[in-house]
Structure 1
């Protein structure tokens, strides 16, 4: 019985009311558009490509590849750090339910992060995360990807430990898209 209840709750959480045993009087909803055909899943297409990543001072730090994945439902990221440490993989995906972007990041050193966000203007996305601090409280983190020219992107991160009253710059990176 518990297994059936857990399965029904999981089905509801995934938006499958019929599978959860819910009764509906209305006709079944049309199948959602394929991700590749849905404009929402194309909002971050400006990130696609292979990029050289440098500090603002010009020191090269990584090569990043972003490509469509899972029939256009995600954007897979491969970050190859020059030093080897901090190399990682990430996945961006759009949630129709939440109407926002979600990103999960994992490094070869065991680091992970999860962010969520929305485009804040054309060719720019603001991703937000909250992390607990060891002594209590939390760190609010904003990461912004902005296309500043056709083949040039700026990635900036800021954090606040006072609920957003004051902000500290964590990093600024330039991405330059490689020719195809």
Structure 2
């Protein structure tokens, strides 16, 4: 998500820069439209000519310098590409501009400068690791330890939840499960998925009776607690809050059962054989005493 937002921001900056630019610079909307047309149709020679006119009048325009730099790069003029991509990066540091600069240095065979630019990209928010590993300009370093380290750092920047052990506390619940009660009677099935940059654990529950429910589970770095928001096809909505206690995920919620305020608790425990127990309990005396509401065993599908 973070990487997507960065791309959206940069693209928005392009639109703004191309349509507005610097007031009174002498660059007309027609000049910007023409340059944009050449760029988006990969007419690199004419794109260079068009953006050179804009940059001459607006030398500090980061978007124009970026596109001019990439146009030069696509013509394999790496020196000119480096010059304008450096200007773009200086004026508006962001991972997209840094990636372009790294490509220009890589194309010129300057590994040190290319890695410096990739490091700047990581510090500015990162680029999706699959983008880096798929980039032809970096293919020469696919087995390089330094490049692999930069890819890993960029992955952590783009997907910060991977870097935090707290976000991984509930991973033992992830998987495809057959669900039974302690007596072995089938109760349903559940698909527990890791989504959204590994930040969210997404539950898809189907009971043996045909009802369905879903939940989003996430660790909130602000209050340092786990939150589960559960909804189902009966209109049930429950928000649980809790955390890891002695290796078990324990979450509670204020609910109403039969019109009476009830404290609900769920405890998820990883069993020695890899199964997961989900034990539901209710309390009507603010947690002094508890009664079991359900008891389920999750076994991985075979």
Q: Same fold (TM over 0.5)?
A: yes
CA distance in 2, matches of 1:133, 1:64: 24
Q: Deviations over 1:58-113 (max 9, x none)?
A: 1111111111111011101111222212x111110000001010001111121121
Shift of 1:39: 1.0
Please state whether the residue corresponding to 1:110 is helix, strand or coil.
coil
1:40 and 2:163 correspond: no
RMSD: 2.0
From 228, 233, 250, the equivalent of 1:126 is: 250
Whichever of the two has the greater Rg, that structure is 2
For structure 1, the residue ranges without an aligned partner over 5 or more in a row are 1-29
1:52 and 2:154 correspond: no
1:78 and 2:204 correspond: yes
- Residue matched to 1:163: 286
For structure 2, the residue ranges without an aligned partner over 5 or more in a row are 1-123, 126-155
CA distance in 1, matches of 2:162, 2:188: 29
TM, length-normalised to structure 2: 0.46
CA distance in 1, matches of 2:172, 2:183: 24
Q: Would you tell me which structure has more helix in proportion to its own residues? A: 2
Moved over 3 A (4+): 30-33, 132-136
From 93, 98, 109, the equivalent of 2:234 is: 109
Task: Indicate the structure whose relative CO is greater, using CA pairs within 8 Å and at least 6 residues apart.
Answer: 1
CA distance in 1, matches of 2:255, 2:173: 25
CA distance in 1, matches of 2:251, 2:282: 12
Please state whether the residue corresponding to 1:149 is helix, strand or coil.
coil
Please state whether the residue corresponding to 2:263 is helix, strand or coil.
strand
TM, length-normalised to structure 1: 0.75
Shift of 1:144: 0.2
Number of residue-to-residue matches in the alignment: 147
**1:36–1:110 Cα change, 3 Å:** same
